[in-house]
Amino acid sequence: MRSLLLITLCLAVVSANGASAQDGPGRSTPSRPCNAPSPTTREADEKIYAGNEVTCKAVINSRPQPAYPRRAREDRVQGVVRVGVVLLASGKVGEVTVFKGLPEGVSEAAVEAARQIKFTPAIKDDRWVSQRVLVEYAFYIY
């Protein structure tokens, strides 16, 4: 029996203060332009800011879709994985922490996808800084 699998990947980047950058699948809210001057330096990656502490929030340019693990699909594991991601001032993805996970390798697939995120770092005053964001990956079989 062949089943139709439609993976809906709903990603929402939520700053640590809870403000959502997306209202739902495919309905992204236009972000206000950042009026900060162009940064001249990068802060060390050790200090991590929340979204409400920066002049301009980090901008995620590319969020790869995670692979839906075969075993999880066979066992009909569905739901949302929420991961905290540190977007470093250096332009690299730092620590990725699972806040709400799913079994059968689904959480691991979300973490691997989160590690591939491409972004522009946050700005505080006139420096690039590290910021913590919340990313949601939805795994559903239709």
Listed residue (10, 65, 38, 4) closest to 125, CA to CA: 38
What is residue 27's predicted lDDT score, i.e. its pLDDT? Answer: 37
pLDDT score, position 11: 31
d(CA 133, CA 14): 6
Low-confidence ranges of the chain (pLDDT < 70): 1-33, 45
Cα gap 73→26, rounded to integer Å: 23
- pLDDT tens figures, 102-139: 999 999 999 999 999 999 999 998 899 999 999 999 99
CATH number for 12-24+41-139: choose from 1.20.200.10, 3.30.2420.10, 3.40.50.970, 3.30.70.930. 3.30.2420.10
Q: Could you give the count of Cα atoms lying within 13 Å of 92 in the half-sphere of its Cβ?
A: 6
Query: What is the distance between the alpha carbons of residues 79 and 134, in angstroms, rounded to a whole number?
Result: 16
Q: For the chain, what are the domain ranges?
A: 12-24+41-139
